[in-house]
Chain A
């Protein structure tokens, strides 16, 4: 019994780990019924894997049996691997016992498709219902929507899950068709759209009737695999942007493709996953969501791919030197946000602090501005007088020279945000 459950967990956690979404944020479920658990609005990472990714959810497949044969997926039908399936009770017990020990924030449950979409979705639904209704479990639940499942099942699942997601897999329809001929973006768009409409409907009803149940309170997300097919960064981010806008997604995840087969339509085994590129895409995503950038400003026909050697914010600034230098003591908050070396927190502090008097270099440093980077783009009270205007390319050379030693020492796959 002990060994059996260990083996299942090993197989079904291993198969689920390529879904990068770890977020447990955005939940608002309270522990009102004196049961177990609640969700923390900002989410908690309980530990980190040795590759540095946050672990906050027990991320498993219900089964890795699958009737499909998507080339990029370890669980594909034609792959010769061990198969396993949890029972509903096994998943419930694991979740409860991990949660009680403060190992996890909740459950991330996905599945290969066995028999058909509805049969699979029904099993997933059984797990979440049992947790919520029998165990009084109020911890976080992220549930995968199974493409092709009926609206009724999806709607019912949405009453118990905090977040639902369904993966685009490849950034473009053409890319998807290449690796998974049986799938299409339309299969993903339909349930995304359906859930989004339900969310809107429920929150409209909530304004009229107080005791309406929550429906997917933490919203929806999706994931794209990067580097398995030859899309440009522009293709990827334009798709992401469209999905953020059309379906109010909470997050889009970019997952650098980790080779799992020797099929020549994709990078073969042993190829390094494109981790730096993945990092640049996340930075762009942040610029769009928190820094007020339009995707077209960062990526366009003249610049279809992101710079690898510098981050996209610096890259934009260097291409747009006509906006700089910015006077820290008078500029708009929006413009201060765009200065390389200044993050959201520092920008807010600057706007507050300058009401008490004009700011100097040492104060900016204390506030948390990365001054060595920012100095090329700003003027403050005691900025040294600059004799000549530097070109963007020269500034890039300065910054690269300065951060060279640091840059070389950090591993390529480290996440550095501005």
Chain B
């Protein structure tokens, strides 16, 4: 047989190794359901992708996971039995990274955990264990940064407002911190990228969406609405930031390392006077 002048002999035709691809809807429940289906169907080597990322390929088979709360709960309960709190947290954080490869690592990690005796998660020689540690670390860092860099502005109706656009979906992680700390003031933290926010109403934290009027600056939504003391304290804070600096020790590189430029837009002290 001759195609395009190349001679192909039977020796060149190797068996195609087909990898199964599971497709899920991007939700945590969906991901956990996928793990359930894997053990139910035993498809051999399998990749997990979200609907968004999935592109049909030749030599690949795929299966669409239908999210199922009961199946998801069973998998989660199974993980709870095998993993300590710290690792359940890493698992959840990796999911909140919203990185598409993280979804597959979570899937493979779960399979690995269920196939091995308790304690397998401390095998830092395993690529999925390392991957989850890394995702969780980045997400926790972003969480920590938001707790540090959020700056509330007091609005005319007494609510403390902050607009943010974090790299990862960290609102679920920071909610408790702000609730416990700012228990005696109403506040709103709004994720401008994911278009939802948290509102604390002095009793509980509720998820909200805000429809902004066109043209409004969302980071700094309407100077007209601000409390009259807002400008005073913002100015005092900027002054303080300048006074605290020791010019003889100037170290811009270190400064930027700690406060990467992409966060400057949050910071009152970085606004130009």
Contact = CB atoms under 8 A, between A and B. Distances in A.
B149 A49 contact: no
Contact of B184 (A36, A40, A98, A258): A36
Interface in B122-141: 122-126, 130
B130 A2 contact: no
A411 B184 CA distance: 44
Contacts of B240: 9, 13, 58, 98
A103 B268 CA distance: 9
B235 A413 contact: no
A350 B162 CA distance: 42
Interface residues of A, number: 61
B248 A17 contact: no
B148 interface: yes
Interface in A88-130: 94, 97-98, 100-103
Nearest to A60: B240
25 contacts: A2-B232, A9-B236, A9-B243, A10-B243, A14-B243, A31-B183, A37-B181, A38-B180, A38-B181, A40-B177, A44-B147, A51-B250, A51-B255, A98-B236, A100-B154, A100-B185, A258-B248, A258-B249, A272-B248, A273-B248, A356-B125, A357-B125, A366-B124, A410-B253, A411-B253
Interface string B150-167: 111110000010100000
Given A52-B251, A273-B248, A411-B251, A352 B269 contact: no
Contacts of A410: 253
B104 to A, nearest CB: 18
A157 B211 CA distance: 49
A97 B160 CA distance: 11
Contacts of A50: 245, 250-252, 255
Contact of B237 (A59, A98, A359): A98
B245 A51 contact: yes
A94 B236 contact: yes
A59 B147 CA distance: 20
B152 A35 contact: no
Interface string A350-370: 101101110100010011000
Interface in A126-153: 136
The 9 closest A-B pairs by CB, nearest first: A52-B254, A51-B249, A353-B124, A13-B243, A48-B258, A352-B122, A356-B123, A52-B251, A49-B245
A273 B249 contact: yes
A411 B124 CA distance: 34
A71 B246 CA distance: 19
B163 to A, nearest CB: 13
Contacts of A356: 120, 122-123, 125-126
Contact-size category for B? 35 or more
Contacts of A58: 240
A100 B155 CA distance: 12
B232 A413 contact: no
Q: Which of B124, B233, B257 has most A Cβ within 10 Å?
A: B124
B146 to A, nearest CB: 10
Nearest to B160: A100
Contact of A10 (B239, B246, B268): B239
B254 to A, nearest CB: 3
B144 interface: yes
Contacts of B153: 101
A413 B124 contact: no
Interface in A5-54: 5-6, 9-10, 13-14, 17-18, 30-31, 34-38, 40, 44-54
Contact of A413 (B125, B247, B251): B251
Contacts of B235: 6
Contacts of B152: 100-102
Contacts of B120: 356
Given A9-B240, A45-B148, A101 B233 contact: yes
Given A37-B181, A353-B123, 9 more contacts: A17-B244, A51-B247, A98-B236, A101-B152, A101-B237, A272-B248, A413-B249, A413-B251, A415-B254
Contacts of A273: 248-249
Contacts of B154: 100-101
A128 B23 CA distance: 58
Contact of A45 (B239, B253, B258): B258
Contact of B149 (A6, A47, A53, A97): A47
Given A101-B160, A103-B151, A9 B239 contact: yes
Contacts of B185: 36, 100
A216 interface: no
Contacts of A240: none
A46 B148 contact: yes
B60 interface: no
A31 B160 CA distance: 18
Contacts of B51: none
B196 interface: no
A303 interface: no
Contacts of B252: 50
Contact of B122 (A49, A53, A355, A359): A355
A218 interface: no
A103 B147 contact: no
Nearest to A7: B239
A414 interface: yes
B259 A47 contact: yes
A47 B246 CA distance: 15
B267 interface: yes
